[in-house]
Amino acid sequence: MTLLTVDNLGITFGGLVALDSLSFTVPKGQITAIIGPNGAGKTTLFNIITGFYQAQTGTITLHRDAGPLVLNGKPDYWIARHAGIARTFQTSRLFPRMTALENLLVAQHNRLMKASFFSLAGLAGLAGFKKAERDAIDKARFWLEQVGLTGSANVPVGSLAYGLQRRLEIARSMCADPALLCLDEPAAGLNPKESLELVDLLALIRSRFGATQLLVEHDMSVVMGLSDKVVVLEYGRKIAEGAPQQIRHDPAVIRAYLGEPPDEDIPVDIAQDLDKC
Ligand SMILES: Nc1ncnc2c1ncn2[C@@H]1O[C@H](COP(=O)(O)OP(=O)(O)O)[C@@H](O)[C@H]1O
Ligand SMILES: [Mg+2]
């Protein structure tokens, strides 16, 4: 089953074609990786899917049980709220002076505001708001536990180790119960042990919570170890799409990363070479 269809997507910045007639599908409940050299258009794709940028051509459709939802033209807050698409950023967007728990409560702000009738019921201490508040705290504690941060619930985020902050960002996105989780280079800056722990966490989010994930990642051990499907971009165009095992030996992919045609006599494994780029 397909959760998201990207069809003929295009965007230019001035004269620069950042995405060119890009089409692919994201299967439900699976992890689809988007890879490609720097400047290939990966973050731009995320920015369009999540409503930060508007595409000049093409359509993005979310297939829900209630029927298809076209995302084009919708602003970011609408997509987060109504389409249930959450994202993490290439650089942290946590609130450093707030505690880990508080950051996860802020992520549920919309739900709490709704329960408070935009503050009247909250001020009056009505039962419905109290329950929503308790639920939000329970959910925050649940996700802190899933990412191994229970002991840091009351620690200001700015004083947490970098790897823990990245896990907290994933917890924050999951507090929104997203239909689609978009992760922009979640392994960037992690050491090898933290990368392995990240792979376990994202695999758990897939297996236990059935969350569909779109993963932009440079670390090929993460991509190859996790993805059900890989889409490869170069200069805004799709140059390959398939299972990780197909992609890692694809000549066009190897050329895009290494800048030269592979020598036919020497078997090339892209997974070993990509991290050098
Ligand atoms: N807001 C913008 N204005 C101008 N150019 C942009 C903007 N966003 C991205 N680009 C350009 O689009 C291309 C793709 O960028 P990006 O999507 O960030 O690549 P990637 O994430 O694959 O490294 C790059 O050449 C980048 O400079
Ligand atoms: Mg990027």
CATH number for the domain spanning 234: value is 3.40.50.300
| Per-residue model confidence as pLDDT tens digits over 134-189 | 889 999 999 999 999 999 999 999 999 999 999 999 999 999 899 999 999 999 99
Q: What is the pLDDT of residue 19?
A: 98
Domain boundary among 147, 177, 207: 177
68 and 202 share one domain: yes
User: How many independent structural domains does the chain possess?
Assistant: 2
User: Which one of the ligands is nearest to 13 CA?
Assistant: 1
Cβ-based neighbour number of residue 161 at 10 Å: 10
Protein residue with its CA nearest to atom 2 in ligand 1: 13
Protein residue with its CA nearest to atom 20 in ligand 1: 39
168 and 182 share one domain: no
pLDDT at 276 over 50: no
190 and 271 share one domain: yes
Indicate the pTM of the whole model.
0.88
pLDDT at 91 over 90: no
15 and 59 share one domain: yes
Q: Nearest 5°: CA angle at 8, between 6 and 14? A: 110
254 and 121 share one domain: no
Q: Could you give the percent of the chain with pLDDT greater than 70?
A: 86
User: Which one of the ligands is nearest to 11 CA?
Assistant: 1
Q: Higher confidence at residue 58 or residue 88?
A: 58
Q: What is the pLDDT of residue 134?
A: 86
Q: What is the pLDDT of residue 50?
A: 95
Please tell me the distance between residue 167's alpha carbon and the centre of ligand 2 in angstroms: 19
| Per-residue model confidence as pLDDT tens digits over 20-55 | 999 999 999 999 999 999 999 999 999 999 999 999
Q: What is the pLDDT of residue 260?
A: 62
Q: What is the pLDDT of residue 49?
A: 97
Please tell me the distance between residue 41's alpha carbon and the centre of ligand 1 in angstroms: 6
Mutate to test the pocket of ligand 1, among 9, 13, 87, 185 (most ligand atoms within 8 A of CB): 13
- Which two structure tokens, joined as six digits, stand for 113? 């505001």
Protein residue with its CA nearest to atom 12 in ligand 1: 18
Please tell me the distance between residue 226's alpha carbon and the centre of ligand 2 in angstroms: 19
> Highest mean pLDDT range out of 81-85, 115-119, 231-235?
231-235
Nearest partner of 12 among 4, 21, 3, judged by Cα: 21
Domain boundaries, position 136: 94-177
276 and 209 share one domain: yes
194 and 276 share one domain: yes
58 and 71 share one domain: yes
4 and 63 share one domain: yes
CA torsion 223-187-146-116 (nearest 10°) is -110
Q: What is the pLDDT of residue 132?
A: 77
74 and 191 share one domain: yes
154 and 271 share one domain: no
Q: What is the pLDDT of residue 277?
A: 43
Please tell me the distance between residue 39's alpha carbon and the centre of ligand 2 in angstroms: 7
Q: Which residues line ligand 1 (CB under 6 A)?
A: 13, 16, 18, 36, 38-44
Domain boundary among 149, 177, 205: 177
| Per-residue model confidence as pLDDT tens digits over 215-266 | 999 898 899 999 999 999 999 999 999 999 999 889 999 888 766 655 555 5
Q: What is the pLDDT of residue 125?
A: 64
Protein residue with its CA nearest to atom 5 in ligand 1: 13
183 and 274 share one domain: yes
Residue 39 maps to a domain: yes
Domain boundary among 177, 212, 242: 177
User: Strand ranges (DSSP E) for the chain?
Assistant: 2-13, 16-27, 31-35, 57-64, 67-70, 85-88, 180-184, 212-216, 229-234, 237-242
| Per-residue model confidence as pLDDT tens digits over 2-25 | 999 999 999 999 999 999 999 999
Residue 89 maps to a domain: no
Mutate to test the pocket of ligand 1, among 11, 16, 274 (most ligand atoms within 8 A of CB): 16
CB 202 within 8 A of CB 212: no
Please tell me the distance between residue 12's alpha carbon and the centre of ligand 1 in angstroms: 9
